Amino acid sequence: MPGSRTGRPPVQRAVRRPPAASRPPRDNPVRRLHTRVQKAWDRPLTAYYLIFGGSLLITVLGLVMVYSASQITALQMSLPGSFFFRKQFLAASIGAALLLVASRMPVKLHRGLAYPILAGAVFMMALVQVPGIGMSVNGNQNWISLGGSFQIQPSEFGKLALVLWGADLLARKQDKKLLAQWKHMLVPLVPVAFMLLGLIMLGGDMGTAIILTAILFGLLWLAGAPTRLFVGVLSIAATLGVILIKTSPNRMARLQCIGATDPGPGDACWQAVHGIYALASGGIFGSGLGASVEKWGQLPEAHTDFIFAVTGEELGLAGTLSVLALFAALGYAGIRVAGRTEDPFVRYAAGGVTTWITAQAVINIGAVLGLLPIAGVPLPLFSYGGSALLPTMFAIGLLIAFARDEPGARAALAMRHPRFGRKRGAGGSAFDRSPRRWNTMRRRASAARPSGER
């Protein structure tokens, strides 16, 4: 090494490192993923896509499972194997049309339908008790025959009627600042709800009465009912429920089958136990679509109330968790729509529909798992039954319509679905003509939605 002028070796100076503040931060993949998921979750159209996509997947998977679970039952009744599937597919097609109509209707029209739907539901529920018109199915007098193999259960439409009418009533009272008085909060909402419950209980349908009660409590909670008032109504409903259960040997037997692992004397818990058997034999990924053993006469109501058990046997834990995740996403989207709106009717209606679907799913799945008594309610959008499917799909259309009105959702939809059209120009090729309209719509949507998210 060459020396310096003084003959000494040169002094090596330490390389200066940039201060820690100027160093670029290390890229954390977990934090980056969390940020991206949070941004996607906060987009205006998140609730819209969750409701539309979740309900579509639940309905399609339900059609597949209805076809698989109902074949043996149909053959045992000397019917074609696809008999129940064809009826469910017809109901799903009509329900899809109702969903599209409801999703495009303005809020004012939904509010205008509240009283006609309530009057129609009460009238049909009263007809059920008329001899020669109403018919009994599985011990419940809650059906009206439409001729042939088609029946209708008016109590299912009573759920939709209570949601729409109750939301309109509470919204009008909130506009007049009357909900601060407990009399206006209870009357006439609670008496009308009790009237619907009375008509349902005349036919002995305890499960539908529980769902209707859950909707009533959901509306009162959204309206801001004080705790003492809420507890008072809940105490009255619980007392009536205990009386109805104690006075019915069938309901007492169902209550005693919670957590049962043996059919018991007289096979009183046969359905509950075989539902557990079906879930237990499915494993992680199931025995395969169509390969269920319990549906061969061992599990009653395999395509209606206990279709979740057949799903667990054929699709395994992965299939059942997927169904639960879809219902959880649907419930979250409904809560989000109810929480972000400024319209009181939208808040009450969205909250009522979310309470309805969530409570019914919890009661059905809880009964299949042996955690709750068997209430005889179908799994929403999934089980066989056109009477339950039609009002539920109309209610999903309500949620979609409300989700489209979220802040920024309309502008984001305009960007997602541009109108491809050209202004008429004189001469020149198609590429030389005036720009398309969607460019103007994009600028207009961006100005209306400063966040830039779709």
In this structure, of 219-228, 305-314, 340-349, the range with the lowest mean pLDDT score is 219-228
Token code pair at residue 304: 């209606």
Residue at token pair 């409904």: 334
> For residues 431 and 121, what is the distance between their CA atoms, to the nearest angstrom?
58
Token code pair at residue 51: 């409701």
DSSP string, 382-402: TSS-HHHHHHHHHHHHHHHHH
* pLDDT tens column, 314-368: 999 999 999 999 999 999 999 999 998 999 999 999 999 999 999 999 999 999 9
Q: Which residue has the higher pLDDT, 170 or 37?
A: 170
DSSP string, 67-119: HHHHHHHHHHTTS-TTHHHHHHHHHHHHHHHHHHHHHHS-HHHHHHTHHHHHH
Q: Are 125 and 200 in contact (CB under 8 A)?
A: yes
pTM of the model: 0.84
Confidence band of 124 (pLDDT split at 50, 70, 90): very high
In the predicted model, is pLDDT for residue 158 greater than 80?
yes
Which phi-psi region, left, alpha or beta, contains residue 9 (left: φ > 0; alpha: ψ -120 to 50)? beta
Cα-Cα-Cα-Cα dihedral of 156, 47, 30, 17, to 10°?
Answer: -160
Pairing of strands 140-147, 134-137: antiparallel
Token code pair at residue 379: 């799994």
CB atoms within 10 A of CB 351: 23
What percent of the chain is modeled with pLDDT above 70? 85
> For residues 389 and 347, what is the distance between their CA atoms, to the nearest angstrom?
23
In the predicted model, is pLDDT for residue 451 greater than 80?
no
- Rounded to an integer, the average pLDDT of 33-53 is 84
Question: Between the CA of residue 151 and those of 87, 130, 208, what are the distances in Å?
Answer: 11, 15, 17
pLDDT score, position 44: 82
Instruction: Kindly list the strands in the beta sheet with 140-147, ordered across the sheet, starting from the edge strand earlier in the chain.
Output: 134-137, 140-147, 150-152
- Rounded to an integer, the average pLDDT of 357-383 is 95
E strand residue ranges, 85-219: 134-137, 140-147, 150-152
What percent of the chain is modeled with pLDDT above 90? 59
In the predicted model, is pLDDT for residue 242 greater than 80?
yes
> Considering all CA atoms of the chain, what is the largest pairwise distance in Å, rounded to the nearest integer?
123
In this structure, of 282-291, 297-306, 422-431, the range with the lowest mean pLDDT score is 422-431
pLDDT score, position 429: 43
pLDDT score, position 337: 94
N- to C-terminal Cα separation, the chain: 65
pLDDT score, position 27: 63
Token code pair at residue 346: 């939208």
